[in-house]
């Protein structure tokens, strides 16, 4: 299991670059003006030699200078005692996320019902339409995030559905090795019962398979039952869970693993 977890964790890092990064003794510190937890957190990507308490204190000082909480991503590759240490330091859990995977040839996607437009580049129109669907209004995010999308080093499949010239749904496929990762599935509330999310996913999976992918993965926040039901109906299965530990003054909690 751990070897496949490592692959998907690597793919996820490739798929979603941060605005700034720092490598530190087998850890990567990511910073993006707190756009998402994934791009504003510390991930363990290799072996370490420095004492943990020293490293945690250093990360806290760096994120303090950046003006955001210090956040650590905890996945199955991270030693359990590290998560316990953060718990004792009153780091709280946020954004528990389920990673789902599928073997595409076993669940060949059916045709989309709505006309899904696929593009190999992520256009400014796609990005700012995504902002509108998500309600992203922060001027700093609207300034820096487009450059993060343009920094994705892998082939992309930018999908959307239009109505009357307006984007009503988006999705993004990112090809890496023999995998297609599915990201940025968002649908306008006015179109929630038109199965647009299903159509976007089917189209990305089909195009990913056409370009050589036979495996797929995605991430869904725990508790998003509607999204999980959709992905399970497409053939995705639960693989592993990760969460983020966020520095105090948040209250500490204990996870189920």
Domain membership of residue 251 (yes or no) is no
pLDDT tens, position by position, 89-108: 999 999 999 999 999 999 99
Claim to verify: residue 69 and residue 106 sit in the same structural domain: no
pLDDT tens, position by position, 60-94: 999 999 999 999 999 999 999 999 999 999 999 99
Average pLDDT over residues 191-216: 96
Whole-number pLDDT of residue 252: 42
Domain count, the chain: 2
Q: How confident is the model at residue 192 (pLDDT cuts 50, 70, 90)?
A: confident
Claim to verify: residue 109 and residue 225 sit in the same structural domain: yes
Q: Are the C-beta atoms of 240 and 1 separated by less than 8 Å?
A: yes
Claim to verify: residue 11 and residue 65 sit in the same structural domain: yes
Buried b (16+ CB within 10 A) or exposed e, 183-197: bbbbbbeeeeebbbb
Domain membership of residue 254 (yes or no) is no
Domain that holds residue 112: 101-240
Show the CA angle centred on residue 64, arms to residues 21 and 19, nearest 5°.
25
- Looking up residue 187, the CATH number of its domain turns out to be 3.40.630.30
255 pLDDT more than 90: no
Claim to verify: residue 119 and residue 192 sit in the same structural domain: yes
Global pTM? 0.94
Measured CA to CA, the distance from residue 162 to residue 247 in angstroms comes to 41
Instruction: Give the dihedral of Cα atoms 8, 103, 220, 256; nearest 10 deg.
Output: -70
Q: Are the C-beta atoms of 48 and 25 separated by less than 8 Å?
A: yes
pLDDT tens, position by position, 113-145: 999 999 999 999 999 999 999 999 999 999 999
Claim to verify: residue 83 and residue 201 sit in the same structural domain: no
Measured CA to CA, the distance from residue 80 to residue 146 in angstroms comes to 36
Q: Are the C-beta atoms of 55 and 40 separated by less than 8 Å?
A: no
Claim to verify: residue 62 and residue 122 sit in the same structural domain: no
């Amino acid at each position: 299991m751990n070897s496949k977890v490592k692959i998907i964790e690597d793919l996820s890092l490739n798929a979603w670059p941060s605005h700034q990064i720092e490598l530190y003794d087998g850890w990567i510190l990511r910073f993006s003006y707190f756009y998402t937890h994934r791009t504003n957190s510390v991930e363990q990507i290799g072996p370490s030699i420095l004492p943990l308490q020293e490293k945690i204190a250093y990360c806290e000082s760096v994120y303090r200078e950046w003006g955001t909480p210090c956040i650590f991503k905890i996945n199955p590759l991270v030693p359990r005692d590290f998560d316990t240490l953060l718990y004792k330091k009153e780091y709280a859990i946020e954004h528990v996320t389920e990673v789902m995977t599928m073997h595409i040839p076993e669940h060949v996607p059916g045709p989309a019902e709505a006309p899904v437009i696929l593009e190999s580049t992520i256009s400014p129109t796609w990005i700012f339409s995504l902002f509108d669907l998500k309600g992203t209004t922060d001027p700093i995010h609207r300034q820096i995030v487009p450059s993060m999308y343009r920094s994705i080093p892998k082939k992309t499949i930018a999908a959307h559905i239009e109505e009357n010239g307006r984007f009503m749904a988006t999705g993004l496929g990112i090809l890496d090795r023999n995998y297609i990762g599915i990201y940025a599935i968002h649908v306008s509330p006015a179109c929630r019962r038109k199965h647009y999310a299903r159509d976007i996913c089917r189209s990305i999976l089909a195009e990913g398979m056409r370009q050589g992918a036979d495996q797929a993965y995605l991430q869904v926040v725990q508790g998003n039952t509607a999204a999980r039901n959709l992905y399970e109906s497409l053939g995705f299965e639960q693989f592993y869970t990760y969460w983020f530990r966020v520095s105090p003054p948040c209250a500490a909690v204990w996870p189920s693993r």
